[in-house]
Structure 1
Amino acid sequence: MATGHTDPQRRERILAAALDHIAEAGVAGVSHRRIAARAGVPLGSMTYHFAGIDDLLREAFTRFADHIVAVFEQHLAPVDGVEAARQAVTDLIHALSEGPQRNLVLSQELYTLAARRPEYRELTEAWMLRSRQLLERHFDADTARQLDGLIEGLALHRALDRAPHDRELTLRAVARITTV
């Protein structure tokens, strides 16, 4: 394996390894040694690229939040009109709930970390703001806030329910919130 400056992907591998580890073992199991081993990099690379575990967690979770915002954008950006936006929100909820279990776990790990450690709340607040801004392209600010909560809640419930509700129920819930 390449070392030092000849390994431009090392930082990215470390971040990916951190997210993979968090998804499997939780934030509590994160350590420089475990992440370095998982990324296949020397332990010294951890402190070279990140000031500490908190720096690593912030950047890894920021990357994860960017990914989820991109999923929101993929569903919401191309639509025009309220009815198409309702369909897009419904599609988004189902995409999130039927997507990789890893994303569900990472979301909950970040929320738990932010609930326990206020310094991580700015990360979740920025994520929620970006999600709401995408929703505000189609709905007023209050509706966007309500939809953001609905998206999170229904996606979580669908992902964890042994008999997840169907698309029609999701669409009716979205319509209730978005009908003036």
Structure 2
Amino acid sequence: MNTRRATVTRGTGRDVLLDATLQLIGERGLHAITLREVADAAGLSLGSTTYHFADREALMLAALGRYADSVVSRCDAALVKAELETASPRALMRSVFEDFSASYCEPNRMLAQLEMYTEAARNPAVAEISARCLAAYRGLLLRAFGIAGLDEGEANSRVNRVLVYADGLALQSAADGTPCELQSDASAVLWALATTPL
């Protein structure tokens, strides 16, 4: 048991707990952690944890919600990059995938996301959070495909394929215990999906 306690700036205890929760979800799985373990990982007391979160479910939903917020923020930031409008199609795809892979290729974030997807099948509250992530990814990719010249119907079809590819690669990376190679592989795959006739 961790007997040390972190020196936490007043008002940041909740953030420290959410960070620790996401780290533990990535390391051990959504259902394998307790409030006490989160408190220990955060260097806070159990009382601090229960002050911020009534129960384990509330903490998990808040942590996954925060993760979704970070995905949405990253995708929103990528959407307003000025160079997207002037880049060549290949440079555009490379730039988009640098942003897109930020979530997929950080091991704990990737594993937390996979945990979230699985839990979404069982828990409507998690399904809503998961849908926010997918909508953010979808919006980023749709814009990239639109700038690359695809019409809306074809872009929608290809975005679905890219998301399946990315999730499949993340799942395979997790199963193999190997680094996710989305950044190095995805640009060529995305370009092929964007330019190959259906």
Q: Fold match, TM over 0.5?
A: yes
SS at the partner of 2:143?
Answer: coil
Bigger mean CA deviation after superposition, 58-67 or 73-82: 73-82
Using the TM superposition, give the Cα deviation of residue 157 of structure 1 relative to its aligned residue in structure 2, in angstroms. 4.1
How far apart are 1:2 and its partner, in Å? 8.5
> Partners in 1 of 2:182 and 2:44 — Cα distance?
45
Instruction: Tell me the residue number matched to 1:135.
Output: 141
Say if 1:87 and 1:171, in contact at 8 Å, map to a contact too: yes
Q: Secondary structure at the match of 2:91?
A: helix
Who is 2:194 aligned against?
178
Q: Are the equivalent residues in 2 in contact too, given 1:76–1:135 (CA < 8 A)?
A: no
Indicate the SS of the match to 1:27. Answer: coil
The answer to whether the Cα contact below 8 Å between 2:93 and 2:187 also exists between their aligned partners in 1 is yes
In 2: Cα distance, 1:25 partner to 1:163 partner: 17
Larger deviation: 141-150 or 11-20?
141-150
* CA deviations over 1:36-81 (Å, ceiling 9, x no partner): 2222222222222123222211111122223334444555542225
Cα separation, 2, equivalents of 1:138 and 1:13: 35
Q: Tell me which residue corresponds to 2:166.
A: 151
Structure 1 residues 119 and 62: alpha-carbon distance in aligned structure 2, compared to 1, 3 A threshold: closer
Letter in 2 for 1:14: L
- Structure 2 unaligned spans of 5+: 146-151
Kindly report the root-mean-square deviation, in angstroms, between the aligned alpha carbons of the 2 structures: 3.4
**How far did residue 109 of structure 1 move?**
1.4
Change (3 A) 1:163 1:41: closer
**1:15-30 paired onto structure 2 within 5 Å:** 15-30=18-33
